[in-house]
């Protein structure tokens, strides 16, 4: 707790998947994938990573010229790399901008975040691939950010920093069979336990399947019976309404006939 910080100083997929950076177990498979990944930064990328900004959420129509026009106001730019699809050549919506001076980098990092370019509010941060130890990209289950709808949010970055954890006593929790308060070892070598749990879960699901089928079948029969009763009640109501209408018409005809007879007398 003493070394807690809102921004991660080292990338840990398990902590990045936690809103306060205190999780001890991964809550989704993407975190497992990130923990097991052996990512090596792209050696083909050149330039000084400590003078490079990461710019995301760009309009797909935004060009290098537009980025240069906007970001050159903060200082001299050495290079702009707008990431494009290798096949189509279309923009992927993010870019890297390398400055000549650190002062310009810091000014752009401070002032350009949430700037609107081509009707899109952009996100600006330092390059992390080559500067943050242990970095795992989003495509491998890591990264920062994510969408709430996916249930795979990542915390510890500029866009979504860690929340300060609630100070709780370090008590023993036997409910989940944890025993001592020692943290479990979720290293890459721990894949066997994960796969064993997956197999056990599959077997347990296979055993529960016949019971669920019986339960669903019973539920279907109940629903069918209720539906039949509802249809029967509906037919009875229609029959009563039809009889009432016929009776009213008969009374009207009798009354009209009686009036006609009275006129001819």
pLDDT class of 3 with cuts at 50, 70, 90: confident
Which tokens go with 233? 């009640």
Per the document, the length of the chain is 265
The sign one gets for the Cα dihedral 100, 106, 110, 113 is positive
Residue 182: band (very low, low, confident or very high) from pLDDT cuts 50, 70, 90: very low
Considering only CA atoms, which of 40, 52, 48 is closest in space to residue 127?
52
pLDDT band per the 50, 70, 90 thresholds, residue 33: very high
- Helices vs. strands in the chain: H and E counts, helices first: 5, 6
Backbone φ and ψ of 234, nearest 5°: -65, -40
Helix or strand (DSSP H, E) at 56:
strand 52-56
Characterize the bridge pairing of strands 120-121 and 116-117: antiparallel
């Amino acid at each position: 707790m003493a070394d807690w910080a809102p921004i991660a100083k080292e990338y840990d997929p398990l902590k990045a998947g936690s809103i306060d950076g205190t999780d001890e177990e991964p809550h989704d498979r993407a975190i497992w994938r990130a923990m097991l990944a052996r990512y090596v930064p792209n050696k083909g990328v050149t330039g000084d990573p400590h003078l490079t900004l990461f710019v995301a959420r760009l309009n797909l129509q935004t060009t290098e010229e537009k980025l240069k026009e906007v970001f050159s106001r903060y200082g001299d730019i050495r290079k702009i790399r707008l990431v494009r699809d290798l096949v189509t050549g279309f923009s992927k919506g993010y870019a890297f901008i390398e400055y000549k001076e650190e002062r310009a980098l810091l000014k752009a990092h401070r002032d350009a975040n949430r700037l609107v370019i081509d009707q899109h509010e952009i996100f600006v941060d330092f390059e992390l691939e080559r500067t943050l130890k242990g970095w795992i990209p989003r495509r491998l289950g890591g990264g920062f950010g994510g969408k709430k709808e996916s249930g795979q949010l990542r915390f510890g970055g500029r866009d979504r920093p860690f929340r300060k954890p609630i100070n709780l006593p370090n008590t023993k929790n036997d409910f989940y069979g944890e025993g001592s308060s020692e943290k479990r070892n979720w290293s890459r070598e721990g894949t066997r336990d994960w796969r064993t749990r997956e197999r056990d879960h599959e077997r347990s699901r296979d055993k529960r399947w016949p019971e669920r089928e019986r339960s669903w079948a019973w539920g279907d029969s109940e629903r069918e019976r209720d539906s039949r009763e509802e249809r029967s009640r509906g037919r009875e109501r229609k029959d009563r309404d039809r009889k009432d209408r016929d009776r009213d018409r008969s009374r009207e005809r009798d009354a009209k006939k009686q009036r006609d007879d009275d006129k001819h007398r």
